[in-house]
Structure 1
């Protein structure tokens, strides 16, 4: 009798709460799934829940986007848990230090990382409502953290576009305009970056804000909600191979446990789904892998739909896929995820503790040395990940040498960095620093190499010994903003990093004239390399604030300046020589719109505005014929699919502009748009065909045969002519991230970075046929054309904003090549 009374009481309480809280449809004034909700309306609903159910919902704004939209987290749990939320968090994090005692499951649900995968934010509202009403029992021992929209800027871009162009009522014909977004689509954030590939690199403001909160919780389970093509059924865990080798047996098994629970609900409804295909767990910067490498069960959920689906669309087999259907599917997996976590809270806590206490990786320490600015840039990334590091002791260490690809030794000092796997984030350290991640399957969804020593251009050794280090946070660079002697003739500084490029850009923006050395020189007993910056008083005599402005710039960029009282060098070329050139005043334009890739355009846009801090004019392909390019000294063609975009007349105009002194920077796929008989002098090598190999193979093996001709983001060792202005500041080798098998012949007199005959990747996967293709091929080069130049960048030095070592090549293309 008592049990029946208690059950009735709980049922009455649940019904009362359900009646008290408005559903998303009731709050918004339309049935969820019949319109796309704008971001501010979703924010309003979450604020309403936080006010109405304040004992069970806590809403936190964790940052703002580039377009000033708020980024939100909703913490949802039973009232007793919410009153004790901070203690629950602290107890959970103690597990990372080997202390047991936590008993709650922590589940994080992330929605709408891709803006035009538009069902996610809608589903988040229905999910939180269900958790607060009929599924509230799940919250008794579980804290659910909901990010309703990781990418508000992209989401509103899509919703606003769709609301403008949809038919009324909506049209399910896939040929209708409402199913065809334009070039400026809603998938990416403001700068056209894919936020689902930025978890590890943190180039974007949304990622940096989010990670601060993520590190405060490090959940047991993280589900990332996506959409794929309209003709695909639903994908959920378990993931496809390859799984990274650090992923534990429990993490693998629990993916199966969750997948089977989802399948139970999908089977009951007759919904189609697939598992163990396409979406792997390898590349570390996804919303499933990054959490996995931090101890979570990280998963991607993929609903058919995306930007083409709209409110409803006819699929290939004649079914109608509606937004309501898509919401129902994401709602089901979201609730199923929370349900299975709640049922396994004790096991999740037990295994999370094990994840953070049992590590026995081959390499115990990673030791790095090199340019101080590059080390500082790396340290800033590590600080954001809360990865600990320190300085080395003077001496010689042995281990795997990244430069040679084999065991060797390296001299280190107290200016060298040591990063150990013996720390809370030790697994993440292994994944980000290991020389060559082990692949269980070459068919992968993304790049297969990313090792940070290569990405940052640092000498490194991976040691099997736990090396002692001296803590240093943050990493310090010796600086001086003091310009020295007031009667100095000039001020000198080096050119070897992206920070130096920012310093130069700042000087130019403030009207300070700067020269650079085209030959090495020695002055006052000190040697200076090519590219060194020379700032003379004579060049800036019209600037009354010259010394103060110069000193402020140096302080701002942590640059040391050396004053000299003479331009008469001891070795090399004097400052009045023609080999000491003035950095020219430049205006830069970049092509946008079709035929460029939004990603490749976005990388350039972000580079100028958020990294270099130098003005950039964006010229859309729709009106480029109306632009007078004589007003610009540089035109950048981002990678893309150019086809016949540059017809004979356009190409003739482009060649004329270059011949008259313009500088064209052609990147990736743009190069194939300007080569050929009517184009510039670069030559594409066609993929060779080996007559000794049969072209006959079983149909089922076709994908694996094709992968032989592919390069899936692998690192290759390239040779560098560092006497060329495009390579100032570089040693004679460069580790390039190659993303495809395009191979171009060496240039006559302008080959700067190139692959020789050793075409085995130093890290990552490259198919056997592709390796044969890229021998003796160009990476970066410059062709003189009349009074101007064409800079070719076959590989992308700005890829996803994280390949730090490539950025100086791009800065050289802007400022040094003349």
Structure 2
């Protein structure tokens, strides 16, 4: 009996020792040394069958794990859905805190809304709220689907907070802080990555950067379903993932927002403070607060022996990132970047093998450290947040351009889109119910206006101003670097004025407007209207905005017969219609036309006029040769290598989701020999096509064009079309302009000579000049808004504003096409006017001036239409959409294939 008892005791002790040893060696215990985890909270291994960092967790397992955590500890964690991806996957976030804060999560949101508006909440009430409210931090993971470690770090962060509540750092966090975790911002992209990655793994994982494991096929998992870089979607909010996230963040207003990323595997770890330049509409307090968080990260990284760096890259200038957008409601925000293993193993150039666990560990430590810093600065962050709102209102009142007025007389669809977009950003946008006067000018009822003296005023200022300047010292340094032939340090686009990009008229006043108004809501529908629904002849839709464009595509898809006028016309001396206006004749359609037109107008917001006569007194008549029959073209788009996935995705999105018209994606190599006779339009998004298509591919496309096809090229695809060996477009790329020297040039030397005639240099500038290449490209431009002028007498620009704004990026500048070959339909403005917003090198201003932006070249029965830049960048150049509609639909109507 005693023997049995002793055996039992021994077995228990052995089990305990094994358990303790297992715990001591588990991956979780290494994450935050000294933590003791409760068995009641499910581990990675229990739910998923592997330890944290042992495997790249896919989307469905991530969701399953968070559901298990929420089920195990419902009083400390709340799981909520904020949307669905294009492919139907749930977008979730969790809130973690003590039981009281989780139980009162909605009350927290309401009180943060109160604290966000000093016009309703005075300082005394704000002070009381601050004593009641917890601090809050939002941790966003995996916006780029192939930046894989952050999602597993998010899972470990949630487990750590819930399973180790007695750990000293956790005690601080849970006592006064709500931690919001968005574990996977891009489920579609991550699913693409994980499925492909594990399909390449063989007998063992490879750490070789040449291996298939480390080289993703096109498109990479970085982007979402429509191949958007969603870290650049925070201004235009085109994607459902971004829309849901912004709505949720606007609800809770977290005080600190962190966006966790990955960078090249040979680097270490990056966190705040950010690099120069900062957006000038951020406040010093916000910048100082995020530096406090960064310093706390540095403390823990030093403690654990992790390398890191700050300040050297990743600036805070562009307001459309996940780490900059939150600053414009008053948060402090930053990006974190960890060296990426892009798989389970990766050998650095130093010979060190980076493991997936290493990358997850660092993101996890930074997450805990950030939450700790927020907890330790709880009162300061809340006070600073309220002060931000107070100061934002005051700053708006002091502005000379305090009020932004959108008259809503031209481009009504674009104006409505911009107004509702700003409402989606939680900006107060007013719609006047009556006519009003402002600064001596009268505006009609229906005009919109935004007063920048509001809590979101700084966001209004930075997105509506034509120019936001970078720090002068930073610019001076970039010019110095350029003079030394060094790469500049401008990280991304430097111009982003939304009214310019949307082609929306905006006027200003410095005085508050007094008129009866209603607030614009994000989901307000553009109201369409059909006048004279019982018209006897037909209906006319004024061309020139997206409402008319969507009317056209809907009508074509429903089989309605539509004409479009190449020139402006006047009907019966009464109604004036712009070039491009749509004509829907009753004689050419069935008896149900009126109800169809009414339905489409309601769906699209188009204004439709019923007409009882076709008597035209100016311009082309309904039956004129200058009034073309529109067709429903079948559109093909080059897809897969070597196409830029961003260009392809952005372009397809604009056509499918903004124009509401289908596109067929064709893998690029097939275009070499494919029979394209089933298509009327082929779009080549930006990309390096020479190796994939070469001369044989160009010849195949050329024969299709000659038979009546319409080829449209964007950006670098125009470079391919313009190559002399390809012969699709009769223009050439320009080298950098070099002013001719006055001095006599030295005698030419033979390339075979090993020596050259002596030269005398008298300064360092002489050395630099002699070092220059004689055939340099223009300097590369990170991305600016440029003014373009539009030919108003070409059918391709019907209904297009004569002055538009486009993106100028890179260093491709083209010669004009000769009139014998085609027409320069749109071109960059003069050197002193070409820059609309951003920073552009002086030499580029001069050389870009009056160079083509849009080129039309007839080719037998078809045509080539080339954009020298990309008109669909980030799907936020709404002002170019009518031009793009014309290049697709009006060009198909003007081509001359056998119908």
How does the TM-score come out when normalised to structure 2? Answer: 0.84
Instruction: Tell me the distance in 2 between the aligned counterparts of 1:470 and 1:286.
Output: 36
Instruction: Tell me the distance in 1 between the aligned counterparts of 2:210 and 2:502.
Output: 46
1:812 is matched with which residue: 886, 889, 897? 886
How many residue pairs are counted as aligned between the two chains?
785
Matched, 1:640 2:687: yes
Once the two structures are superposed, the pairs formed by residues 172-571 of structure 1 within 5 Å of their partners are 172-305=207-340, 309-359=342-392, 360-361=395-396, 362=399, 363-369=401-407, 370-391=410-431, 412-440=443-471, 441-442=474-475, 443-468=489-514, 470-472=516-518, 473-474=520-521, 479-481=528-530, 484-485=533-534, 488-524=536-572, 525-540=574-589, 543-571=590-618
Greater Rg by CA: 2
Counterpart secondary structure, 2:830:
coil
CA contact (8 A) 1:481 1:553 kept: no
1:20 is matched with which residue: 26, 32, 40? 40
CA contact (8 A) 1:744 1:777 kept: yes
Instruction: Tell me the distance in 1 between the aligned counterparts of 2:766 and 2:405.
Output: 47
Counterpart secondary structure, 1:591:
strand
1:113 is matched with which residue: 130, 133, 143? 143
Judging changes above 3 Å, is the alpha-carbon distance between structure 1 residues 728 and 167 closer, same or farther for their aligned structure 2 residues? same
Instruction: Tell me the distance in 2 between the aligned counterparts of 1:801 and 1:63.
Output: 20
Paired position in structure 1 for 2:632: 585
Instruction: Tell me the distance in 2 between the aligned counterparts of 1:127 and 1:17.
Output: 13
Instruction: Tell me the distance in 1 between the aligned counterparts of 2:446 and 2:854.
Output: 31
Paired position in structure 1 for 2:748: none
Instruction: Tell me the distance in 1 between the aligned counterparts of 2:687 and 2:738.
Output: 26
Give deviations 1:250-289, integer Å, cap 9, x for gaps.
Answer: 1111122111111111122322111012101111110100
Q: 1:747 deviation in Å?
A: 2.3
CA contact (8 A) 2:669 2:693 kept: no
CA contact (8 A) 1:158 1:186 kept: yes
Instruction: Tell me the distance in 2 between the aligned counterparts of 1:223 and 1:264.
Output: 18
Paired position in structure 2 for 1:770: 844
Counterpart secondary structure, 1:743:
coil
Counterpart secondary structure, 2:38:
helix
Bigger Cα displacement from structure 2, 632-641 vs 23-32: 23-32
CA contact (8 A) 2:37 2:160 kept: no
Once the two structures are superposed, the pairs formed by residues 656-671 of structure 1 within 5 Å of their partners are 656-671=703-718
Once the two structures are superposed, the pairs formed by residues 18-97 of structure 1 within 5 Å of their partners are 18-97=38-117
Instruction: Tell me the distance in 1 between the aligned counterparts of 2:196 and 2:347.
Output: 20
Instruction: Tell me the distance in 2 between the aligned counterparts of 1:261 and 1:606.
Output: 42
Once the two structures are superposed, the pairs formed by residues 782-797 of structure 1 within 5 Å of their partners are 782-797=856-871
Bigger Cα displacement from structure 2, 137-146 vs 743-752: 743-752
How does the TM-score come out when normalised to structure 1? Answer: 0.92
Instruction: Tell me the distance in 1 between the aligned counterparts of 2:288 and 2:632.
Output: 60
Q: 1:548 deviation in Å?
A: 2.0
Paired position in structure 2 for 1:758: 831
Matched, 1:609 2:656: yes
Q: 1:292 deviation in Å?
A: 1.1
Q: 1:550 deviation in Å?
A: 2.0
Judging changes above 3 Å, is the alpha-carbon distance between structure 1 residues 252 and 28 closer, same or farther for their aligned structure 2 residues? same
Bigger Cα displacement from structure 2, 456-465 vs 104-113: 456-465
Counterpart secondary structure, 2:276:
strand
Paired position in structure 1 for 2:788: 718
CA contact (8 A) 2:571 2:616 kept: yes
Counterpart secondary structure, 2:379:
helix
Give deviations 1:770-802, integer Å, cap 9, x for gaps.
Answer: 223212201112111111111111122211011
The root-mean-square deviation of aligned C-alpha atoms, in Å, is: 2.3
Instruction: Tell me the distance in 1 between the aligned counterparts of 2:35 and 2:293.
Output: 29
CA contact (8 A) 1:294 1:425 kept: yes
CA contact (8 A) 1:481 1:558 kept: no
Q: 1:628 deviation in Å?
A: 1.1
CA contact (8 A) 1:199 1:287 kept: yes
Q: 1:635 deviation in Å?
A: 0.3
Instruction: Tell me the distance in 2 between the aligned counterparts of 1:708 and 1:72.
Output: 46
Instruction: Tell me the distance in 2 between the aligned counterparts of 1:416 and 1:530.
Output: 25
Instruction: Tell me the distance in 2 between the aligned counterparts of 1:647 and 1:29.
Output: 50
Give deviations 1:91-113, integer Å, cap 9, x for gaps.
Answer: 22211112311331110000000
Q: 1:15 deviation in Å?
A: 8.6
Q: 1:625 deviation in Å?
A: 3.4
Paired position in structure 2 for 1:403: none
Matched, 1:738 2:785: no
CA contact (8 A) 1:708 1:768 kept: no
Instruction: Tell me the distance in 2 between the aligned counterparts of 1:107 and 1:186.
Output: 27
Once the two structures are superposed, the pairs formed by residues 618-697 of structure 1 within 5 Å of their partners are 618-678=665-725, 679=727, 680-690=729-739, 694=765, 696=767
Judging changes above 3 Å, is the alpha-carbon distance between structure 1 residues 644 and 623 closer, same or farther for their aligned structure 2 residues? closer
Q: 1:622 deviation in Å?
A: 3.5
CA contact (8 A) 1:646 1:673 kept: no
Q: 1:748 deviation in Å?
A: 2.9
Judging changes above 3 Å, is the alpha-carbon distance between structure 1 residues 91 and 430 closer, same or farther for their aligned structure 2 residues? same
Paired position in structure 1 for 2:28: none
Judging changes above 3 Å, is the alpha-carbon distance between structure 1 residues 164 and 410 closer, same or farther for their aligned structure 2 residues? farther
Counterpart secondary structure, 1:19:
coil
Bigger Cα displacement from structure 2, 546-555 vs 156-165: 546-555
Bigger Cα displacement from structure 2, 130-139 vs 792-801: 130-139
Q: 1:509 deviation in Å?
A: 0.4
Q: 1:204 deviation in Å?
A: 0.3
Give deviations 1:81-139, integer Å, cap 9, x for gaps.
Answer: 21222222222221111231133111000000000001111110111111121343111
Q: 1:379 deviation in Å?
A: 1.8
Counterpart secondary structure, 1:534:
strand
Give deviations 1:438-467, integer Å, cap 9, x for gaps.
Answer: 211343321111111101112223434344
Instruction: Tell me the distance in 2 between the aligned counterparts of 1:94 and 1:343.
Output: 23
Q: 1:626 deviation in Å?
A: 4.7
Instruction: Tell me the distance in 2 between the aligned counterparts of 1:205 and 1:806.
Output: 22
Q: 1:682 deviation in Å?
A: 2.0
Bigger Cα displacement from structure 2, 230-239 vs 266-275: 266-275
Judging changes above 3 Å, is the alpha-carbon distance between structure 1 residues 551 and 316 closer, same or farther for their aligned structure 2 residues? same
Counterpart secondary structure, 1:109:
strand
CA contact (8 A) 1:154 1:188 kept: yes
Q: 1:25 deviation in Å?
A: 3.2
Counterpart secondary structure, 1:63:
strand
Instruction: Tell me the distance in 1 between the aligned counterparts of 2:360 and 2:827.
Output: 50
CA contact (8 A) 1:61 1:71 kept: yes
Judging changes above 3 Å, is the alpha-carbon distance between structure 1 residues 645 and 218 closer, same or farther for their aligned structure 2 residues? same
